[in-house]
Amino acid sequence: MVQTPAQPLTVEEYLAIQNGSYEGRVEVEDGYIREMPTEDRINTRIAFALSLRLAQILPPAQLSVGHVEVEIPSAKAQFRNPDVMVLDPAHVHLLGDGRGTIRLHMPPPLLVVEVVSPGKENEQRDYQDKRKEYAARGIPEYWIVDPQRQSILLLRWADGQYQEEEKTGSQLIVSTILPQLHLTAEQILKAEP
């Protein structure tokens, strides 16, 4: 259980907290540590199956499944912990075996994937809040995988904003970051490795 401080944490205060000080995944919103709820089984399967597919075309050190957090530009401490992330090759050396935090002075991750959990709050966070935050961080691709809607929203950075394209069923996911990836929306949503 994360103890909620009376005042919002600064970036330095948050980073001073040891990684093992809390159980499970956390994110920091407006300076407050927020425990991430346990994912639905389908969400976990989707993230795992997608990471297995990505591991076939990327070095394992470039993949993160909920273990590397991203600092977001904000007046207060803001850190996100994407479900699946493709790291920039520079991160492998910059992160080492430490905490696993991509700081603002580091290159952004190449791709982040969020699997939407049920509920309006989760939809708001993934479709709106994180979209703005990942854009502010300069992340080239952001995928929103939504098992409830049976769709994947691909957001690709172009001309200073995200261009979006929704994929469903047998439509092929076309990634500018991973052109060698050959998956359909249905394969991702059914969690086929």
Q: Is residue 23 part of a domain?
A: no
pLDDT at 3: 55
> Distance between CA 147 and CA 122 in Å, rounded?
12
CB count, 10 Å around CB of 73?
10
The single-letter code of the amino acid at 187 is Q
> Distance between CA 134 and CA 131 in Å, rounded?
5
pLDDT at 33: 86
Instruction: Count the domains in the chain.
Output: 1
Q: Is residue 56 part of a domain?
A: yes
Q: Is residue 141 part of a domain?
A: yes
Q: Is residue 21 part of a domain?
A: no
pLDDT at 176: 94
Output the domain CATH number for residue 167.
3.90.1570.10
Q: Is residue 59 part of a domain?
A: yes
| Span between the terminal Cα atoms of the chain, in Å | 33
List the domain range (segments joined by +) for residue 173.
38-189
By DSSP bridging, strand 183-184 and strand 172-173 are: antiparallel
Q: Is residue 32 part of a domain?
A: no
Q: Give, for all 193 residues of the chain, the pLDDT tens digit.
A: 445 557 888 888 888 886 656 666 788 888 888 887 667 788 999 999 999 999 999 998 899 988 899 999 998 899 999 999 999 998 888 886 667 899 999 999 999 999 999 899 999 999 999 999 999 999 999 999 999 999 999 999 998 899 999 999 999 999 999 999 999 999 999 986 5
Q: Is residue 130 part of a domain?
A: yes
pLDDT at 128: 96
> Distance between CA 57 and CA 120 in Å, rounded?
34
Q: Is residue 27 part of a domain?
A: no
> Distance between CA 153 and CA 6 in Å, rounded?
37
Q: What is the pLDDT of residues 43-99, one digit of tens each?
A: 999 999 999 999 999 998 899 988 899 999 998 899 999 999 999 998 888 886 667
